[in-house]
Amino acid sequence: MEPIAKYELVRLANGAYSVRSLAEKETFHPVVGPLAEAEALYVNQLKLRPRLASHAGQFVIWDVGLGAAANVMAILRASADLSCSLRVISFDRTTEALGFALKNSQKLKYFAGFESVASQFMQAGRASFARGNWELCAGDFPALMRDRSVALPPPDAILFDAFSPAMNPAMWTASLFADLFRRLDPLRPCAMPTYSRSTMLRVTLLLAGFFVGVGHATGEKEQTTIAANSREMLEEPLQPAWLQRARKSRSAEPLREPVYRQAPLSQASWDALLQHPQFR
């Protein structure tokens, strides 16, 4: 009996190809395509090249949501001519989407020049490249963040690319982002872009301890979101006027359980937002 297909290749309106998860009914990088979105959302927004060029020691990137590895390929391509040591840690439950993408690498195109690195990673769960290493941390990401016995190097940048809150609410809860924030080194500036611009997400990040700003457009959305443990890393931090938008929103209260729902801000969340150093 033929195995049940979990992914399919889809051609986007602009002609680029991407991968669609049949279980989640979601397409990775659905408008501008994998490479263009990864470059806009992560490489450019993180100012990756200038940060790497001036960085002393090893630069650590957490890739949260390996998926089909388009984000990591964009990072490797953007840093190929730089001398900074790089350590990339990808988090996901499975490498199945990457395996599917590698079988369709000619149409997807974003593996070009790094096929051997991706194949080595797929086979061994780790790979070496000219300036560093790429490794897999497999398992349930929220559980990994909670488990303090799991030692992980604090990141300098995080690529947060989980499935949507409606499809994967466990990856968007208040406790997950609070646990993630506690993993950061306050003396090591770290920025984390993600594709969502929702009020719920921005409130969740603020209450977890992050400073939060408006992120760059990606082609699909006029805004995204970027969070950091240092306000100075944000080009356009949310201003106090945004608080009134959050207070009026019918979908602003963070998810306290891994079940998707929409709710207005509670009084406790509102009071906590007012005390956030970003708005004082």
Torsion angles phi and psi, residue 184, rounded to 5: -80, 150
Q: What is the pLDDT along the chain (280 residues), one digit of tens a residue?
A: 445 689 999 999 889 999 999 988 999 988 788 989 999 999 999 999 999 999 999 999 999 999 999 999 999 999 999 999 999 999 999 999 999 999 999 999 999 999 999 999 999 999 999 899 999 999 999 999 999 999 999 999 999 999 999 999 999 999 999 999 999 999 999 999 999 999 999 999 999 999 999 998 876 668 999 999 999 999 999 999 999 999 999 999 999 999 999 999 999 999 999 999 999 8
Cα separation, 254 vs 203, whole angstroms = 7
Whether pTM > 0.75 for this model: the answer is yes
Only one residue has tokens 């149409």, namely: 107
Cα separation, 269 vs 207, whole angstroms = 8
CA dihedral 197, 178, 192, 92 (to 10 degrees): -100
Domain 33-279, what fold?
Rossmann fold (3.40.50)
Domain range summary for the chain, segments of one domain joined by +: 33-279
Contact partners, residue 123, CB within 8 Å, separation at least 6: none
Cα Rg of the chain (Å, integer)? 18
